[in-house]
Amino acid sequence: MSNVGPRKLSTKVPFQASSWMNNKIDVIRTGTPLSGQIGPHSLPLDCFYTTEVYNNTVTTTEKTEVEMIHNRSTGIISLIKAARSPEYDGVVFIRAFQV
Summarised one tens digit per residue, pLDDT across range 37-71 is 999 999 999 889 999 999 988 766 788 899 999 99
- Residue 78 sits in which domain range? 8-98
Nearest to 42 by CA among 94, 99, 90: 94
pTM of model > 0.75: yes
Summarised one tens digit per residue, pLDDT across range 20-29 is 999 999 999 9
Query: Is 2 inside a domain boundary?
Result: no
Whole-angstrom CA distances from 94 to 9, 39, 86 are 8, 11, 22
**8 Å CB contact between 98 and 9:** yes
Query: Is 1 inside a domain boundary?
Result: no
**8 Å CB contact between 25 and 76:** no
| Percent of the residues in the chain that have a pLDDT greater than 90, as a whole number | 70
**8 Å CB contact between 90 and 64:** yes
Give how many domains the chain has, as a whole number: 1
